[in-house]
Amino acid sequence: MQAPDQPILRDIVLVGGGHSHVGVLKRFGMRPEPGVRLTVICRDTHTPYSGMLPGYIAGHYSYDEVHIDLAKLARFAGARFFRDEALGLDRDAGKVLCRNRPPVPYDTLSINIGSTPQMGNVPGAAEHAVPVKPINGFNDRWLLLLARVREHSGPTRIAVVGAGAGGVELTLAMQYRLRDELRAAGRNPDELSFHLLTSSAVILPTHNASVRRTFERVLAARGVVLHRNAEVTQVFAGRLRPAGGEIIDADEIVWVTRAGGAPWLRETGLALDADGCIQVTDTLQTVSDPKIFAAGDIAAMVNHPLEKAGVFAVRQGPPLAENLRRTAAGRPLEPYHPQRRWLALISTGDRYAVASRGTLCLRGSWVWRWKDWIDRRFMLEFSELPPMKTEPSKGTNG
Ligand SMILES: Cc1cc2nc3c(=O)[nH]c(=O)nc-3n(C[C@H](O)[C@H](O)[C@H](O)COP(=O)(O)OP(=O)(O)OC[C@H]3O[C@@H](n4cnc5c(N)ncnc54)[C@H](O)[C@@H]3O)c2cc1C
């Protein structure tokens, strides 16, 4: 974006390559902002698109199909790409502190680092459970789990803790894939059993009753044992204890409960909510520091409490890009008002999906094909990067 003969007037630094920042990079690539130098700091060169993750786990997509190549996208945007991990901020000096490189100066900073699991309050969880978050490391953890299950002889019991959309989708996707793996190895897929535990009285608490009933039926038909009102209070090697219930044996324990903010944010002095996420106003600026923005799971919009879902991270990309531009140009910022209702397309592992929006519930293999089409089209926007005149599409996460 920065032509070599242009002076650098503003340094905009993006920390994290989440769903909002990929949208920012795409937009700045399509319409460069004169005098702005963009820098991305991210732990990973490839960032997963969460809408397609369950399909990847089920075995319907390859790694490349569900990951955005950040280095390539940064090149398209004319941005510097630093593969590194942010560990803190020196807000007085306006610098990002990184694990491996000298502090990176910023005039404007944006944070889109996703969420991390809150396992610390459950004894044994951090040692013995496999967290789904942070989402970027999940692929490695999943491949290890897959290898363990392949090597485990005899019955294998898998417990998934958390029955929001992520937990339910993940259970069904894992079951589909692991049964396939055992079949391919000439083993009996019925050696696998699944338990899904939730602290609440219902699964998918943010979705309508028809969606919940549909998934209850699917889980029952697939033999997944559902434990309601079963908050896990302690995890041991190969066992977990739900509140007021019997201890459950499990060869694998997968943790998909509500996630929170990275611990290093506590040292930044930015105002955080109870889960440790950064409080932001409608302009996506942090309430504490107008030079710092945040978006996606790590942001807590003080006026619009949102579910932690990729759909919101994707949707915050365009208003974030616009406000970063406006900041650079010294123009007034625009407020962003998220939609009150959004469409969620939740898959059942076997190329079948359920559409949920407000009180609407539609289901079928056609819903899966619809989701697949939308998601592939979304990913094309980031893999095919000639100069473009049109705005990117939104994906089922957006
Ligand atoms: C199994 C599963 C399925 C899901 N399915 C859906 C779905 O179908 N639809 C949906 O809307 N949501 C879904 N979600 C939720 C979704 O994954 C998250 O809401 C979404 O990933 C949040 O996006 P984000 O942009 O905030 O951050 P992320 O996608 O988590 O990206 C954060 C990025 O920041 C980088 N990073 C993190 N910390 C640092 C650091 N300190 N320094 C530098 N870089 C850093 C990471 O490497 C990563 O690239 C699912 C979640 C799970 C667990």
For residue 229, tell me if it sits in a domain. Answer: yes
**Does one domain contain both 310 and 288?**
yes
46 lies in the same domain as 111: yes
pLDDT on residue 390: 45
Alpha helices (H) in 222-288, listed in sequence order: none
Which of 20, 45, 46, 50 to probe ligand 1 with, by most ligand atoms within 8 A of CB?
50
Contacts for 154 with CB less than 8 Å, ≥ 6 apart? 191
186 and 246 fall within a common domain: yes
Q: Say if ligand 1 is within 6 A of residue 375 CB.
A: no
Residue 252 lies in a domain: yes
- Quote the pLDDT of residue 131: 85
61 near 81, Cβ under 8 Å? no
Answer whether residue 223 is part of any domain: yes
Residues 167 and 196 grouped into a single domain: yes
Given 256, 278, 307, the domain boundary residue is: 256
- Among the candidates 256, 281, 313, a domain finishes at 256
The confidence score (pLDDT) of residue 342 equals 84
Which distant-in-sequence residues (6+ apart) come within 8 Å of 221 by Cβ? none
Same domain, 123 and 150: yes
Q: From the first residue on, what is the mean pLDDT of each consecutive set of 10 residues in the chain (398 residues)?
A: 63 97 96 95 93 94 95 96 98 98 98 88 90 78 88 91 94 96 93 95 94 97 96 94 90 89 96 97 98 97 91 95 96 94 92 96 98 96 72 55
For atom 53 of ligand 1, the residue with the nearest CA is 166
109 and 125 share one domain: no
Rounded Cα–Cα distance for residues 281 and 287 (Å): 6
Residue 171 CA to its chain's centroid (Å): 17
In this structure, the answer to whether residues 169 and 99 fall within a common structural domain is no
Closest-CA residue, ligand 1 atom 52, reads: 166
Burial class of residue 274 (count of CB atoms within 10 Å of its CB; 0-12, 13-18, 19+) = exposed
Domain count, the chain: 2
What tokens does 233 get? 């209070």
Residue 359 placed within a domain: no
Q: Answer yes or no: do 130 and 148 share one domain.
A: yes
From 256, 272, 290, give the residue that closes a domain.
Answer: 256
Whether 238 and 182 map to the same domain: the answer is yes
* Same structural domain, 76 and 154: no
Residue nearest to atom 22 of ligand 1 (CA): 310
pTM: 0.92
- The predicted pLDDT at position 133 comes to 75
On whether residue 275 sits in a domain, the answer given is yes
CA of 48, closest atom in ligand 1: 29
- Same domain, yes or no, for 231 and 288? no
Query: Residue whose CA is closest, atom 10 of ligand 1?
Result: 310
CATH code of the domain containing 160: 3.50.50.60
* Ligand 1 near 166 CB (within 6 A): yes
14 and 102 inside one domain: yes
**394 within some domain:** no
149 in a structural domain: yes
| Domain span including residue 292 | 10-115+261-341
Contact 171, 194 (CB under 8 A): yes
Q: What is the pLDDT of residue 341?
A: 81
